[in-house]
Amino acid sequence: ELALRENDVEAMRAIVRAIAGTTDSTVYLANRLLTLARIEHGSEAAVMAPVSLPSVVRQVGLELALPAVEKQIDLALEAPEEALINGQALMLHELVSNLVDNAIRYTPVGGNVLLRVQAVEDGILLEVRDSGPGIAQGEREKVFTPFYRVAATMEVNPSGTGLGLAIVRDIAALHRAVVTLAPNGSGPGLSVSIVFPPLHGGWGSTR
């Protein structure tokens, strides 16, 4: 209504841009809430199958390469040719997308984001490291609560929903995986590690 009453074209455009931004934020929030609902109501009927974790990570890396390039972020991948886990490909894609999107959003211009898949004693590790502000130890458990946001992240991304890590936690739980947050061992930033149970005969096969 305000835009319709405005006679100045530039002022009208500014109002419409604000409306568009609010709409985008609302759609983003709705999609995140729908994802949480699908995980909650679909967990009992979840059908698991062998999924190539490196393939999922590579695909997400390609999809999010542009925002990384725009911020001059060094987006690197360290992964074997193959590493199979028991899971749901779409849910795993959502999990990795949330982690990589967060890492790129909160890493400053010229920073680094590392995606790593490797064998560990308890299974197969997915690690996403960034050189952003990190998360204080006292808040690392709180960030898995829906809508909780760290003050430092609100300054960098005011339009965030606080649902990304809640989605990651729920998808990891669906896959019987363990999520750990820690400082980036090579400098400032955050390291998110998820250890998935191994799939018998799934590690090290090549194609």
Place of tokens 């006292």: 138
- Residue range 60-89: mean pLDDT, rounded: 94
pLDDT digits (tens, 9 = 90+) for 128-160: 999 988 888 888 888 877 766 666 665 665 555
pTM of the model: 0.74
The strand pair at 74-78 and 112-120 is best described as parallel
In this predicted structure, the answer to whether residue 207 has a pLDDT above a threshold of 50 is no
Q: How many CA atoms lie within 13 A of 189 on its CB side?
A: 22
- The pLDDT value recorded for residue 194 is 97
